Amino acid sequence: MQTRFAFGPSSAPLAHGDAARRPPSRTPSRGGTRGRAAGGVGEPDALLVLDIETVPDAALLPPEWPADRFPKNAWHRIVAISSVTADILRCGDGREGYAVTACRSGGRKDWGEARLLDAFWRFFEAGRYRVVTWNGRAFDMPTILARSMIHGIDAPAWFRRGTKWDGYRHRFALDWHTDLMDATSEHGAAPRMTLGEAAAALGLPGKLGEHGSEVAAMMAAGEADRVRAYCETDCINLFALYLRWAHLTGRADAASHDRAILDLADYLGRERGARPHLGRFRDAWTAMADGRAMIGPLASARGGPPVTEGDAIDR
């Protein structure tokens, strides 16, 4: 039996036997090349901007555990794994561009946790991703790993890729795993922001009504689709934040940042018919009083020509 994970660059789900399949390559604009060709074997060639939603596992949560205290990682049951994926386009000057390939939730809403996790790891092994999270070092990834261990699911790619000093598990190896909450706080030297606070600071919609504290109630009410949509919009906020952080740190120049932002907005607009929550996110973004703060200002602000909709990533 195939276990599928609809978590890739198209609506076609990824099967166990599809491990060698990669997203179709694109023609990068302005001289970029895909990461594998330019960076050598083993280097991440795509972003996996990841978020999960969980509910307490009643079978593991101790009865004396206070209701207002956050459960330990292993006591969370994962009900949604969502992501934005994007190709990394490497430029000749060592900088990067990013081209959105998908915003998806894994599996189907009726899948159990074990099936969801097994399919996630098979999908993960099939690509070579730079993982981007918000508090992912403390919550998302330890929870995914703990629950995988409970279900007897292996995840060798997470532990074996990279080198002794450079890989997914190393806090400062940001080419492999960028926990953006940790990175923007200078690894704990400054107070950490919530995802919503960071989104508001950069003119992003943030939450569109739902909150993580409501996930258990939504699942109990049979609203798994709503949970998955909420998780996806968190990923969109996080991807846009990563683009601005990539510009801040010199990974991407102003024009590459602007093209990626326009590419994201274009993707959300194209998907709105089939997935209305993506259209609502785009509308909320552009309707904000300072919404233009995230769409296309950087190149012109630095004295270069502004990037317009016609300059979005080539399809």
Query: What is the per-residue pLDDT for 35?
Result: 40
Averaging pLDDT over each range in 17-21, 39-43, 276-280, which range is the top one? Answer: 276-280
Asked whether the predicted pLDDT for residue 34 surpasses 50, the reply is no
Q: Model confidence at 294, in pLDDT bands (50, 70, 90)?
A: low
Mean pLDDT score, 21-43: 42
Q: At what angle do helices 113-126 and 141-150 cross, to 10 degrees?
A: 120
Higher pLDDT among residues 126 and 294, named by residue: 126
Domain 16-302: homologous superfamily in CATH = Ribonuclease H-like superfamily/Ribonuclease H (3.30.420.10)
Q: Which residues contact 41 (CB under 8 A, 6 or more apart)?
A: none
* pLDDT tens digit sequence for 242-257: 999 999 999 999 999 9
Asked whether the predicted pLDDT for residue 27 surpasses 80, the reply is no
Query: What is the per-residue pLDDT for 309?
Result: 52
* Rounded Cα–Cα distance for residues 178 and 11 (Å): 26
Asked whether the predicted pLDDT for residue 307 surpasses 60, the reply is no
Asked whether the predicted pLDDT for residue 19 surpasses 80, the reply is no
Percent of the chain with pLDDT over 90: 67
Query: What is the per-residue pLDDT for 15?
Result: 35
Identify the weakest region by mean pLDDT among 26-40, 88-102, 122-136, 264-278: 26-40
* Rounded Cα–Cα distance for residues 6 and 81 (Å): 10
User: Are the beta carbons of 256 and 97 closer than 8 angstroms?
Assistant: yes
Query: What is the per-residue pLDDT for 13?
Result: 37
Higher pLDDT among residues 296 and 141, named by residue: 141
Asked whether the predicted pLDDT for residue 23 surpasses 70, the reply is no
Query: What is the per-residue pLDDT for 113?
Result: 98
| Segment (H or E) for 292 | none
Higher pLDDT among residues 284 and 309, named by residue: 284
Query: What is the per-residue pLDDT for 297?
Result: 53
Query: What is the per-residue pLDDT for 288?
Result: 79
Higher pLDDT among residues 136 and 301, named by residue: 136
* Rounded Cα–Cα distance for residues 55 and 65 (Å): 15
User: Are the beta carbons of 99 and 263 closer than 8 angstroms?
Assistant: yes
Q: Model confidence at 209, in pLDDT bands (50, 70, 90)?
A: low
Query: What is the per-residue pLDDT for 4?
Result: 36
Give strand ranges (E) for 171-229: 177-179
Asked whether the predicted pLDDT for residue 6 surpasses 90, the reply is no
| Domain spans, the chain | 16-302
Mean pLDDT score, 174-200: 93
Asked whether the predicted pLDDT for residue 120 surpasses 90, the reply is yes
Query: What is the per-residue pLDDT for 124?
Result: 97
Identify the weakest region by mean pLDDT among 80-84, 127-131, 168-172: 168-172
Q: Model confidence at 214, in pLDDT bands (50, 70, 90)?
A: confident
